[in-house]
Every structure is written in structure tokens, then in C-alpha cells.
Amino acid sequence: MFQRFLSPRLAGCCALFVFATAAWAQAPAARLAPPVSIHDSARPLLPPQLQDFGAYVDSARKTFDVPGIAVAIVKDGHVVMEQGFGPREIGKPAQVDAHTLFAIASNTKAFTAAALQQLDEQGKLKMDDRVIDHLPWFRMSDPYVTHEMRIRDLLAHRSGLSLGAGDLLYWPPTSYSTKQVVERLRDVPIKNGFRSGYAYDNILFAVATLVIEQASGQSYADYVRTHLFKPVGMDESLIDKTYISAGMNVATGHAKADFKDLQPVPPMAWLNDPGAGGIYSSVHDMAKWMNVQLAAGALPTSGADGKSERLFSEDSQREMWSVLTPIKVGKPPIPELAPLMPNFSGYGESWFLSDYHGQKLVWHTGGWPGMVSRVTLVPGQHLGVVVLTNAESGAAFNAVTYRVLDAYLNPETKTDWVAVYDKAVKKAEAKSDDSYAGHLAARDKNSKPSLALAKYAGTYRDPWYGDVSVSHENGKLRLRFSKTAQLVGTMTPWQHDTFTVRWDDRSLNADAFVTFTLDMDGHITEVRMQPISPLTDFSFDFQDLRMVPVQAGTKGTQND
């Protein structure tokens, strides 16, 4: 459970290095706008513990080097506040507000679950249908798993795939289509027992995307717009980056190049797995989404008979909020995080489930190049909070989230979660430094590659990803992933037949070891990769690649 506090995408907490800019240090603390409410005459006041909330959010921005944060809080069906803090992009004057769009990444998964539950209610599928009943060509690498995989399993991270398995098929963006991504599942290795435990994945949400399209007869984008955004009133939200046009109120993501220098990163469109994380939204729209969730699917509008219309039934919501996959509760990385340790932890249909101060939490996080976010619901208190950020610091959104939760659930205690998470981040950084120091200590600096550099050049093929090429250019080796434009880098000898690859795009923070295996005659038989830093995002699943040389004259390609 607590390792998620140190993973920017899975449940993230840490900016990898923490620096404050001089401009922010000199800027006055943001002032809170008056509380607002949508379609309500009541304007609830912030609780006493949040009277200094603007200054607190600014301290989180400064400590974790996050340019902009947007927050919305809902309580008892009302919007208590929705506000932005800081710039949309460093060095530019435009400020984040309640209507600024951010990539919500894996918070999209809850929309995918809601779409499937709606289709179940319409009789177009059943959540316990086999996937092959709707996609007859669907295959996993194990025939039993292929036969027994149910639609509900696609949402529960219990398939037997390892953490982030197959993510390189679309992260960073690739030229594969969604169907090609799903077709390649047949070669993605299954490393654990089916339904035996929890391991977060994204690739099965590509399968869910195709199930929605097959059952509804609409594209995923059209279905979500028509059946989710429109009835909820989420007029600002977009399916993916391709719908963003010049002049729109959109945040720019920021990442730490080489884990240290904050810089803007280009927006990403996840066209080949939209159901896992494609949506862009604002806290204004996400407040509406949270209120519908907390109302068990009831919409704020009324039908002709005066009865409230529904997005989905109460039974559907119970299914989405019921634990399907238990998650082990571990130890906190630092003692100060012990109060956040839950009594139970699990995953339902696209929602994490745990508890805090005797209340059930229903929550999820999202991680994207340059943006991370968190949505947290407390059903027993009709309370929700969403935090959207334009930098890769889960520490920031967690510190802000728990200040809000404490204001309602633990008002007698005012913990400085910014300071607590700052300590956790620094510990994670120290462990990362120790990891690299260990590699350096084990390195034989006097060793040389077994072959001349040009002998390592060639095309290598992995069963599920496809082709990766190594070229000899101007006395150096260059590595290129055939379907991933961003994965291009220079290889440098490390020791023996292991090299390091340093990607040209320094915002990836995913440099890796590349090891060539030779046979007794000095021929390359296999190439393996491994991320160098433990802080590298889990979606760079280099360790699952099993690349072998493609012989000259080989017919066909694994990239079709």
C-alpha cells in the first residue's frame, strides 16, 4: 500500500528532486476566492482548518516544485470551493483557475467502468461475460486466462500480468492502433496467477475500450461524450489532447529533466488506449463528476415526472465500489506517515478502496507526462476532493488531499502533510542514490565490450513490442524503438557487454542498462534491458523485453 505514496503514477507522492523557484519564493500567498456552488443558492463555508488553505497550497507548490494546482471540494451535494493556484506554465502569466484543463490520466478509468456498467444495465453486455464473447479474437499468453477473462476482470488489476506489463506499446506514445495493442497481448508474459493478486496494469483498459465500442456501436470518445459528459454536465472536458485547440484554457505539464531541472513537456494524446487515461478535465467539471458519484449515480437534473434521472444505478455503484482485488497493507516509508495507514486496502472496478479515520475512502490517482492528479471520495460524509497538478509530484496532491480530509474527518488535528511528504521524498531520493552507488561499486571499469561496437548494430525483435534497432553512427551506438518516436538514445559501454542508453529526451527519466548475451562463438543471442533508476516510471517496462537478432532476409515483421 505505502509504496504507492512514492510512485508518481500508481498513486504517486514524490517529486524526484525538490527545489523552489525564486519567483515563487517572492510571490505573495494566493488568496482564496469566495466559495461557490453550482445550481445551489447555498454557499457552504470552508471549515476552520482550511481558512489558510491558499497559503498551504502555495507551500505545497513551492516545496514540491509544482507550478500550478487546481482544487475542488464538494460536500453534501454542494461545491464548497473550486480554485486554481499558480501558473499554467512556468515563465508565462496565465494562471490556473477552476476551468483550466489538465490530463486526468488514470482517473479516466472510472469513466470506463461507468460506461461498462451502463452497457450492462442496457442489456448490451454483462460484467461477467467472457471477453471472448464480445471480442472473439482476444488472446492472452495463457489459454486458460484467455478463456476465463471476464469483462469485470479488465478493471480489477488481477489478470496475472506484472506491474505495467505491455505499457511500452503506448507509453511513450507509439504508432500502434488500439486493436494492434490488444492483439499483442497474446505475447505479453503472464508472471503471476490469474486472480491471485494485485498488479496495476493499463493494457487491459485498451481491451475494455474495444468492448465498449463493440457493445455500443460508438467510438469510445463518442460514447463517453454522449453518455457520461453530457448528462453530468461536464461541458469543458475532452477525450484527449487532439481536441485541444489554440487559445484554450489548458495547463502545460512539467517534468524534471534528469530528475532535477523542471521544464515544460509537450502534451500527449493516448489514442491507442484512451480508456486507461485519455481524458482532459477541469476541477469545475470533476466537481460535478464527484457529486454524481456521491449521489450513487443520481443526476442533478430531473425528468418530466420530477424524479431524478440517473447516470447509473445504485447496484452498479455498489459493484464499482466493492473490493475485487485485495491489496497488501505494508509499512509506511517514514513513521510520520503511519496515521495514513489503512485498516484495509483493495481495488474495485477502477477505484482504490481503503479507509481513513473510520471512513471508507473511494479514490484514484492519475499520472501523465508532466501532470499527476488525485480524486478522493468519502461516501459516508458526502465529501469529495479533486487535486489536479501540472508537474510530476504525487507528494503535492497527497499533501493537499489529506489537509482537506483532516479538516472534515479529524478537525482537532492540523498536520503539516507538506513537511511529512517532503521527508518521504527525500528518503526516496536517498535510496535512489544508494542504488546507483551500488551499481558503480560493482562496475568493472577496466572491462571492455567483447565485440567491436559495429558488431552490436542490427535489428532486434521482441515478441510483444516488435523491433528495436541499434545503429553504429560516427563511432557511437544509437538505440531506436521502431514504434516509439521518443525512445531514441545513445549507448555507452558500462562493463563487459552491458551498455547504458541515455535517451535524447531528458524529460523521460528512463535511462536503462542494455545487456547483450553472446554464445560460445561470439554471436549475439539475446538483448535485455533494465531501468537504471528505481525512480523510473513503472510503465517503462524494459525488463519484460526479450529481444533476439533479426536475421538478414527474414520475411515479415513483428511491427505490422
pLDDT at 22 over 60: no
The residue among 492, 549, 491 whose CA lies nearest residue 522 is: 549
Give per-residue pLDDT as tens, 524-543: 999 999 999 998 999 999 99
Give per-residue pLDDT as tens, 420-439: 999 999 998 888 878 888 89
Mean pLDDT of 256-284: 93
Report which DSSP code applies to 30. P
Q: What percent of the chain has pLDDT over 70?
A: 89
pLDDT at 60 over 60: yes
pLDDT at 560 over 80: no
Mean pLDDT of 341-354: 98
Q: How much is the pLDDT for 269?
A: 83
Q: How much is the pLDDT for 239?
A: 93
Find which of 40-44, 170-174, 288-292 is predicted with most confidence, using mean pLDDT. Answer: 288-292
pLDDT at 21 over 70: no
Phi first, then psi, for residue 312 (nearest 5°) are -155, 165
pLDDT at 359 over 70: yes
**Bigger pLDDT: 384 or 12?**
384
Mean pLDDT of 161-171: 95
Q: How much is the pLDDT for 14?
A: 33
Q: Would you say the C-alpha torsion 206, 212, 214, 220 has a positive or negative sign? A: negative
Mean pLDDT of 383-403: 97
Q: How confident is the model at residue 555 (pLDDT cuts 50, 70, 90)?
A: low
pLDDT at 13 over 80: no
Q: How much is the pLDDT for 33?
A: 44
Distance of CA 372 to the CA centre of its chain: 7
Q: How confident is the model at residue 308 (pLDDT cuts 50, 70, 90)?
A: confident
pLDDT at 16 over 60: no
pLDDT at 8 over 50: no
Q: How much is the pLDDT for 38?
A: 44
Q: How much is the pLDDT for 34?
A: 42
Q: How much is the pLDDT for 5?
A: 36
Give 420-460 as a DSSP string.
HHHHHHHHHHHHHHHHHHHHHHH--TT---SS-GGGG-EEE
Q: Would you say the C-alpha torsion 277, 54, 59, 408 has a positive or negative sign? A: negative
Cell reading at 23: 519567483
Q: How much is the pLDDT for 553?
A: 55
From CA 549, how far away is CA 183, in angstroms rounded?
Answer: 23
Q: What percent of the chain has pLDDT over 90?
A: 82
pLDDT at 15 over 70: no
Q: How much is the pLDDT for 408?
A: 97
From CA 142, how far away is CA 188, in angstroms rounded?
Answer: 10
Three-class secondary structure assignment of 362-394 = EEEEEEECCEEEEEEEEHHHCEEEEEEECCCCH
pLDDT at 333 over 80: yes
Distance of CA 143 to the CA centre of its chain: 29
**What does pTM read for this prediction?**
0.91
pLDDT at 303 over 60: no
Mean pLDDT of 493-512: 96
pLDDT at 172 over 80: yes
